[in-house]
Structure 1
Amino acid sequence: MTNKHVEFTLTLEHLWQFSLQFYGVREVKEACLSLQNNYHGNVNLLLLLKWLDEQQVIFLEQDWPILQGCIMRSETLLSSYRELRRHLKLQVNDALYREALQFELQLEKQQQSDLVDCINSLTLVNNDGEPLTLRYCRQLGGEHLQHAFSMPFPDNHPL
């Protein structure tokens, strides 16, 4: 890996749109849900890592804990809400359940905002090594899921 610093400013809207498109691929969605439900991974973090992979940039190794730490508060809230929503599914009508899903999406977007703020504060360099998504899947013990995240994203325009 070269140590050439890269200047990127990621916006919440760009990451959100990227995430909606990438997550919209059936195989990606299934792998994301497996990463979340079976390996306790964070889908928003994975989507940010995929965006970074597409830009061929990486943050410094010592910044992994910073990035993961910036979502701890929102992850606790999201996990609790997700569990509540799952319990409500059988007890509320479809309209109320859809509202619960919409609120969860708002929480997801807030978490992405936290990630965007965090990544924009870190030093980014060119990534000549392994994709970040592979490293994250490996950390969680779900390396076999990487195939779904290695598909190239069609809108590969850097900001």
Structure 2
Amino acid sequence: MTFAGSLNPSFYQSLWQDCDSIYMQHQSNCLTLQDNYQVNVNLLLLAIWLDSHHQLLDSSNWQQLQQILLQWEQKLLLPYRKLRRLSKAALEQAEYQQMLDVELMLERKSQAKILRNLKSMALNEVSSTEPESNIGRYLTLFNLDSQDYPNLGQ
């Protein structure tokens, strides 16, 4: 068992850049899970990233991260996202892009919050043949089965 904060800083250096690439590959699934089940895309991307690095976070930590973000995002990000979506038809493209840019800045704030909290959590190194996954543990919080989304683990 290793505490995430004790890992080499290079372990996290490319985290969100890697997650941006992961998002581009899985954008449709991510947005479907977000819109239909209120799955946090940043946490889902983190789960995929940790799985690719063979690091496993306890289920209780996934629940804790979800709670921390939900409290913050319900106050600011989620109402803003709703406003942006409702405004799309009434705005010029440049105005809409400005709203989208603000939303992306708020997403980056969420990512910083995730990383701050993750560093105090324990990670377990697992083999690539381990049946448990972060994707599965995170989706379980929403009563979802990761086997219904097999391409997320690829």
Which TM-score band applies after superposition, normalised by the shorter structure? 0.7 to 0.9
Cα distance between partner residues in 2 of 1:70 and 1:14: 23
**Corresponding residue for residue 61 of structure 2:** 63
In structure 2, stretches of 5+ residues that fail to align are none
Cα distance between partner residues in 2 of 1:83 and 1:22: 24
Cα distance between partner residues in 1 of 2:21 and 2:109: 18
Residues 1-159 of structure 1 correspond to what in structure 2 (within 5 A)?
4-5=1-2, 7-8=6-7, 9=9, 11=12, 14-25=14-25, 28-76=26-74, 77-127=76-126, 128-143=130-145, 145-151=148-154
Letter aligned with residue 146 of structure 1: Y
Cα distance between partner residues in 1 of 2:62 and 2:95: 38
Q: Relative to structure 2, which stretch is displaced further, 59-68 or 32-41?
A: 59-68
In structure 1, stretches of 5+ residues that fail to align are 152-159
Q: Relative to structure 2, which stretch is displaced further, 56-65 or 76-85?
A: 56-65
Runs of 4+ that moved beyond 4 A: none
Which structure has greater helix proportion?
Answer: 2
Determine what percentage of the aligned residue pairs are the same residue. 31
Letter aligned with residue 148 of structure 1: N
Scaled by the length of structure 1, the TM-score of the pair is: 0.81
Report SS of the residue matched to 1:89: helix
State the Cα RMSD in Å: 1.9
Cα distance between partner residues in 1 of 2:136 and 2:59: 14
- Following superposition, the deviation at residue 68 of structure 1 comes to 1.6
Deviations 1:113-150 (A, max 9, x none): 10011111111112344111122223323425521311
Cα distance between partner residues in 2 of 1:62 and 1:138: 11
Closer, same or farther: CA 16–5 of 1 in aligned 2, 3 Å: closer
Corresponding residue pairs, total:
145
Q: Is the 8 A contact 1:31 1:145 kept in 2?
A: no
- Following superposition, the deviation at residue 91 of structure 1 comes to 0.8
Report SS of the residue matched to 1:103: helix
Deviations 1:63-90 (A, max 9, x none): 2332222212332121111100011101
Scaled by the length of structure 2, the TM-score of the pair is: 0.84
Q: Is the 8 A contact 1:35 1:142 kept in 2?
A: no
